[in-house]
């Protein structure tokens, strides 16, 4: 589970992070039970590879039983502070576009789980049910627009926003930008489809 058991993000910030401390986002735990995962497994995570991919979640997306919680359109669900090393480049010194797409897909997956937390919390508060399993979903569509070359070693941020939920479809958008927000390197839209049964 990615979203439960979150820590206060200000207790886990690095000296390199320049996040506005007024933002009430919470540091989310790194998955430790997926050794073959593309991002968090041993293949692409480490020095020279994906060196940092730290998630911070919107507290309204954490599991809650408050009936008044709701999900607004274009609400930021999660963001990631990231750094990619020099072994995942295409052109010399420039992060490969396939890696950018991978990170967008993974980030939007976290965004989907945040959306589902809110949907299920609202459902539980109405029905009185306490234990709902996460609804599994798969990526139905991912469109990426590459705006600027992303240099290896540069610190950057991926922000994920909920756009729309329609039945089993959850639409999200994301932006890969400089930590200051002044430069947008790429942006993406992603459609997640909830499965009727587990894979």
Q: Does residue 45 contact residue 109 with C-beta atoms inside 8 Å?
A: no
* Backbone φ and ψ of 115, nearest 5°: -60, -45
pLDDT in tens, 138-192: 999 999 999 999 999 999 999 999 999 998 899 999 999 999 999 999 999 999 9
* Percentage of the chain exceeding pLDDT 90: 53
pLDDT single digits (tens) 139-153: 999 999 999 999 999
Give me 58's structure tokens: 């919107």
Q: CB under 8 Å to 179, separation ≥6 — which residues?
A: 17, 18, 19, 81, 155, 156, 157
Who wins on pLDDT, 62 or 44?
44
pLDDT at 75: 86
Averaged pLDDT for residues 117-122: 72
CB 97 within 8 A of CB 90: yes
Specify the higher pLDDT residue, 173 or 72.
173
What sign results for the dihedral spanned by CA atoms 6, 11, 15, 17?
positive
pTM equals 0.81
**Confidence band (pLDDT; 50, 70, 90) for 135?**
confident
DSSP E strands in the chain: the ranges are 26-27, 50-57, 75-84, 137-146, 155-166, 169-178, 184-194
What is residue 158's predicted lDDT score, i.e. its pLDDT? 98
Residue 14, pLDDT > 70, answer no
The total of other beta-carbon atoms located within 10 Å of residue 39's CB is 20
Please tell me the predicted confidence (pLDDT) of residue 119. 73
Q: Which residues contact 141 (CB under 8 A, 6 or more apart)?
A: 189, 190, 191
- pLDDT value of position 70: 56
Radius of gyration of the chain (CA): 17
Per-residue pLDDT at 111: 94
pLDDT of residue 63 exceeding 60, the answer is no
Please compute the mean of the pLDDT values over residues 51-73 and round it to a whole number. Answer: 68
3-state secondary structure of 132: coil
**N-to-C CA span, the chain:** 17
Mean pLDDT (the chain) is 81
């Amino acid at each position: 589970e990615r979203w439960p058991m979150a820590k206060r993000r200000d207790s886990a910030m690095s000296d390199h992070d320049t996040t506005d401390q007024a933002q009430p986002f919470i540091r989310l735990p790194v998955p430790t039970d997926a050794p073959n995962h593309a991002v968090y497994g041993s293949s692409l995570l480490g020095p020279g590879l994906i060196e940092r991919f730290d998630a911070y979640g919107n507290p309204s997306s954490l599991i809650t039983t408050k009936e008044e919680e709701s999900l607004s359109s274009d609400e930021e669900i999660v963001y990631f502070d990231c750094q990619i090393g020099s072994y995942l480049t295409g052109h010399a010194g420039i992060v490969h576009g396939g890696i950018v797409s991978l990170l967008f897909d993974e980030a939007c997956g976290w965004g989907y789980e945040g959306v589902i937390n809110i949907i299920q919390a609202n459902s539980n508060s109405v029905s009185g049910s306490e234990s709902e399993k996460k609804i599994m979903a798969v990526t139905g569509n991912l469109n990426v627009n590459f705006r600027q070359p992303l240099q290896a070693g540069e610190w950057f941020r991926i922000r994920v926003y909920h756009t729309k939920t329609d039945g089993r479809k959850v639409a999200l958008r994301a932006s890969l930008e400089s930590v200051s927000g002044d430069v947008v390197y790429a942006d993406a839209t992603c459609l997640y489809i909830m499965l009727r049964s587990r894979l």
